[in-house]
Amino acid sequence: MEHVKELTTKVVQNIERVIVGKRRAVQLVVLGLICEGHVLIEDVPGVGKTMLARSLARSLNCSFSRIQCTPDMLPSDITGVEMYDQSTGTFKFMPGPILNQIVLADEINRATPKTQSALLEAMQENQVTISGETHPIPRPFMVLATQNPIEYEGTFPLPEAQLDRFFVKVTIGYPTVTEEISVIEDQQLAHPLTAIEPVTTAEKILQVQEKIKSVFLADSVKRYIVEITQETRTADSVYLGASPRGSLALARASQAWAAMYGRNYVIPDDVKMLAEATLGHRIILSSSARLKEMRPGDLIRDILGKIPVPGGDFKGE
């Protein structure tokens, strides 16, 4: 797995030339990419959500598009539309922005549910169908959707079933004083994004996506993952727990995380590290828990403290 470690480290370090001091957020986005998943970034304006997506696309030398979601946006604005060509007397497909490899859906909760559904259908099927004709989306394909947690007027929050489609949820957070000074200095003459060069190719990313599937998952680790997910369904403070898709996401994320650190086997610490990012957005807390200002992350930390951590051999050798 040294090849996976080397490639992902190069991508992370390249993005960090633009996104200062947010290594975990950058690593989770790269992890989502190599797991063939999509990422939901929820944070306040101005912390670098858009720059993170653009830096990733440049680092991979992949096609990039930005969708600025608004209430008046139609599904065809995302998927594309067939236009009549008078010169040939035929209809010609005009591809929408979703037909790119790295797609930023900015402020996704400002789009209407119908438009959200069109976007999420493309995310699930890796294709769009217009007038009965299917158009595949080029790989690797990844949607980074952002939403603002503090503005609710004029927004359409993602339904739980659609939130479940996102592989991980990431928060970036404010920089420290030192980091913010560094940001000012880096952008004094020119934006560092302009100096970003590709450090890998789409073909190599596709190879890594296949490689991580061979990372060994011991039976005890599989059981540990399922026990965590099961506990999210039975806890008193939960209205709706994580689905089996959550277990699958946590397992695949753990494989990728291990590979990013050069291991060909998963350890329980990998699972604990990624449980909140992969399961938190799939959980609906009860009304009493929300009144106590409890968050899904608090619940997951409680679960991790309660379930015994497996021991033994995790290498499978």
**pLDDT tens digits, residue range 219-256?**
999 999 999 999 999 888 889 888 899 999 999 999 99
- CB 38, CB 142: distance < 8 Å: yes
**pLDDT tens digits, residue range 134-172?**
889 999 999 999 887 765 666 777 777 778 889 999 988
Looking at the predicted structure, is the pLDDT value of residue 116 above 90? no
- State the average pLDDT for the chain: 88
d(CA 200, CA 208): 11
What integer pLDDT is reported at residue 211 of this predicted model?
93
| Domains (range + CATH), the chain | 2-208 (3.40.50.300), 215-306 (1.10.8.80)
Rounded to 5 degrees, φ, ψ at 5 are -60, -45
Tokens read off for 155: 């927004």
Kindly report the pTM of this predicted structure.
Answer: 0.90
